[in-house]
Amino acid sequence: MYSFLNPNKNTRNSAILFFLLLSFSIGLTNIASAQQWGYVVFKDKGIHDNSFQNNFSAAAIERRFMQNIAWDERDVPVYEEYISLVEAYSDSTFGTSRWLNAAVVQASEMNWKRIANLPFVLEVEFLQEQSIIAAEFPTTNYLPSENFDYQVKEAKTQLDLLEPTQFSERELFGKNTVIALFDAGFTDADDVEQLSHLFKNNQIIETKDFLKKTEGVYSNSIHGTEVLTFLAGKNDSVQFGLATEATYLLARVTPNMGFFRFLNDVQWIQALEWADEKGASLVNSSLSFTNQLYERRDLNGRTCKISIAANTAMDKGILVVNAAGNELQNSWEIIGAPADAERILTVGSVNPTTGYISSFSSIGPTSDGRLKPDVCAPGELLYPEDDGDDNYKSIQGTSFATPLVCGFAACVRQLHPDWTTEKLWEEMRKSGSLYPFFDYAHGFGIPKASYFFFGEEEKPNVYSVQFSIDSLSCNNVLTISRRDTIEIEENYSSPVAFIQFIKATGEVFKYNVSRPQNKVIASIPAEEFKGCKLRVVYDRHFFEIPIPQP
C-alpha cells in the first residue's frame, strides 16, 4: 500500500539501501583481495655456523664429496630471526626456501609495504592467485582395453628403443642411486605387484606429503604409482622400468585439483631442497606448470622460481629429469616449467613403434630460443592391470616417458659413479639417437644404452646418422666412412631437385657423384670433411644439415 501512495519515496530508499549494500560488499572484496601471497627474499643468511651440515644425510654428504662440491650459503637455512620479524607483519606463512633465501607469506597491502622496508629484505614478489585449477601433471589417457589384444611379449618390447638389454646383461639396474619422485600422490603403490619388491627390500627410504605436512603419500592420486612403475616396476615376466634396484624418496607436491594452485611451485621447490638433504642424485618430476601460473614469455629458464631451483639442483650434484608436458594439441603447445630450465633433462614422448613424436608431446624451443626437450622416450605404453592375469591397459603421456629416461640415467650413474652431474647430463644428451642433430620435437632423440659401452677403438669404420626434414616428409640415412666417401640413401616421398655438399667456406664441393638405385655416393677428400654441410634443395627451398665428423 505504501508504495502505491508514495512510489518515488519507496524507490529512492530502495536505491539508497542497494547502494549501501553494494558499497559494503565492494569494501569486503577489497579487504579480501588486499591479502596477498608472495615471496620475501632476504639479503643474507644472518648469523650462522657449520651446524647446518647436520641437516644433511650421509648420502647427501657422500654425493658432495664424490663430486667435489663445496658447501655454500645456499645450504644454510633461512635465518630464523628474519622469519620471526616478517611473521609479525604476516597473516599466514607457507614455509621457506633456503636456495632462494626466501619466505612465502600472506599479508595485507599495508603490511607488505612494511615488510619491503625491513632492512634485511632484498625484494618482495607477489604470487598470482588462482581459484580452481586443472591437474598439474600431464594428462593420463586410458584407452579401452577391449580395443586391444596385447600379449605379454608386446609389453616386454615396449622399451626396446632404449636398448635396455645393454644394461640388464651387465646387471645395471640403478643400484646405489637415490631417486626422488615428485607427484600428486601414490595411491596403492604399497599394494601392487609390480612395485612389491621395493617394499620387500626397503628401497623406499622416506616419504613426505608437502601439502599436509605428513609422511603418508599412498593415496590422493594413482598418477605417481604409474610413474613409479615406469621407474622401478617389474613382475615375473616384464620389466617396466630400468631402475629396479635404486632407492626412492616419494614426495607429494601437488593436488589433482584444488585451490591455492599458485603455491604448488613453492611445494615443488621445498621438496627439491628436501631431496637434496636426503641424498638424492636424481629427481623425477612428471609435472608441468603452464598457463595456470605463467605466461609463455616466462619460459626462459630464468624467470620461473621453480626453474631457477631446478637449475640450482645441478650445482648440488642433482640431475632433475622433467616431463615436457602434453600441450602440443592445446593452445599452449610448448613445454611447461620447470622443463625450460637449462641444466635439466627435459623429456618428450615418442610412439614406441615408430620412434616419432607422440601427438600430444609438448615441443620447444624455450622463449629465449634454447633447445628443449633434450631427449625423448616412449610415452605410449602398456600398464599392468592389478588383476594378476597379465592384462594391460594403454597409458599415454610425457609423464611416463620421463621415468624411463630417469631410470636410464640411474643405470648410467651406477656404471659411472665418478661422473659429475654435469658430465652425466652431457653424456645423456650425446647418447640420443639424433645427436649431434636435434629438433624441437625430439631434442637429441632417444637415449641409446649402447652409446655407453663402445669405446673409440670399437666403433665401426662406417656409421650412419638418421635425419628427417618434416616439410619434405623424408627420412634419410647418412653414412660416412673413415675414408673419403659420403653415402646418402634417399627415402624421400618425392624426389628432390638436387643434393649438394657445402664446404665450411660456403663453397660447393666439386665431386664425382653416382646414383645407384636410390643412393647418392659422393667422393670427397677426407681433409675437407671438417665443417661440411649437406644441402638438400626441394621446391625452391634448401635445407642445410651439418655432417658429423668420422
Query: pLDDT by residue (tens digit) across 201-211?
Result: 999 999 999 99
- Quick one: how far is CA 226 from the chain centroid? 16
Q: Are 64 and 192 contained in the same domain?
A: no
Q: Which residue has the higher pLDDT, 184 or 538?
A: 184
The domain of 487 spans 461-546
Write out pLDDT tens, residues 79-123.
999 999 999 999 988 889 999 999 999 999 999 999 999 999 999
Residue 2 falls within a domain, yes or no? no
Last residue of a domain, one of 76, 102, 126: 126
Closest CA to 96 of 112, 110, 76, 113: 76
List the CATH number of the domain containing 263. 3.40.50.200
Strand partners, 451: none
Report CA dihedral (198, 339, 316, 176) to the nearest 10 degrees. Answer: 20
Instruction: Using the predicted structure, report yes or no on whether residue 62 has a pLDDT greater than 60.
Output: yes
Q: Are 57 and 184 contained in the same domain?
A: no
381 contacts 397 by C-beta, under 8 angstroms: no
3-state secondary structure 334-395: ECCECCCCCCCEEEEEECCCCCCECCCCCECCCCCCCCCCCEEEECEEEEECCCCCCCEEEE
Q: Are 106 and 163 contained in the same domain?
A: no
Name the average pLDDT for the chain: 80
Provide CB contacts within 8 A for 372, sequence distance 6+: 324, 335, 339, 340, 346, 364, 365, 366, 440, 443
Q: How far is CA 472 from CA 468, 539, 544, in A?
A: 8, 9, 13
334 contacts 296 by C-beta, under 8 angstroms: yes
104 contacts 263 by C-beta, under 8 angstroms: yes
- The CA-to-CA distance between both ends of the chain, in Å, stands at 101
Q: Which residue has the higher pLDDT, 206 or 482?
A: 206
Q: Please identify which residue in the block is written with the cell numbers 655407453.
A: 452
Last residue of a domain, one of 426, 453, 480: 453
Q: Which residue has the higher pLDDT, 528 or 7?
A: 528
Structural domains in the chain (count) = 3
Last residue of a domain, one of 81, 102, 126: 126
Q: Please identify which residue in the block is written with the cell numbers 666403433.
A: 459
Residue 132 falls within a domain, yes or no? no
Q: Are 118 and 154 contained in the same domain?
A: no
Average pLDDT over residues 400-427: 96
